[in-house]
Amino acid sequence: MIDADGAQKGVMPFREALKIAQEQELDLVEVSPQGDPPVCRILDFGKFKYSQSKKDKEVKKKRKGQELKEVKLRPKIDPHDFVTKSKMVQRLLKEGDKVKVTIMFRGREVAYATFGEKILEKVAEESATLATIERKPKLEGKNMIMILTPKGE
């Protein structure tokens, strides 16, 4: 048994430990049931659960999940615009986010899907040091989609 102050009281019968906890108006909590003998601790259980939930919230707040960001392009993109969009893809990858690169086709442009595929390959080539291709370019309706993930993930 461990006291409310953190001092070890040694091995004692359950009834005696429960009596000590009730005298101090605290709870007897089994900390390690698989131990031989099981380890119990005297503490204020409500206060303990509250501090545990606070710690869990803090850990959750600090953890940054990987988000999926999207960058949209067109098949007849200007070279300067392509450079700008490519830099944006690289910035998002450096921040640790997955990037979904989408080529949007309008009207009959879908017939020239190879142009879109070349653009997506060029984006992947320029960000090859930062990313791996999670999903190869694939035509879905009037959009061609490729997903890049940061390297080291």
Please give the average per-residue pLDDT across 52-76, as a whole number. 86
- Two structure tokens written together for 57: 């919230």
Q: What is the pLDDT of residue 91?
A: 93
State percent of the chain over pLDDT 70.
98
Closest CA to 70 of 123, 110, 121, 130: 123
**What pTM was computed for the model?**
0.58
Q: What is the pLDDT of residue 99?
A: 94
* Residue 79 parent element (H or E): helix 79-94
Confidence of residue 67 (pLDDT cuts 50, 70, 90): confident
Task: Answer yes or no: is pLDDT of 55 > 80.
Answer: yes
Predicted pLDDT at 83? 95
Structure confidence at residue 153 (pLDDT) = 54
Question: In this predicted model, what pLDDT tens digit does every residue of 87-139 receive, in sequence order?
Answer: 999 999 998 889 999 999 998 998 988 999 999 999 999 999 999 999 999 99
Query: Residue 35 is encoded by which pair of tokens?
Result: 């131990």
Query: How many other C-beta atoms are found inside a 10 Å radius of the C-beta of residue 82?
Result: 16
- List domains and CATH numbers for the chain: 14-62 (3.10.20.80), 68-150 (3.30.110.10)
CB burial class (10 A; 0-12, 13-18, 19+) of residue 133? Answer: middle
Query: Cβ neighbours of residue 104 under 8 Å, at least 6 residues apart?
Result: 72, 73, 74, 142, 143
* Euclidean distance between CA atoms 139 and 113, whole angstroms: 8
Give the model's pLDDT for residue 145.
95
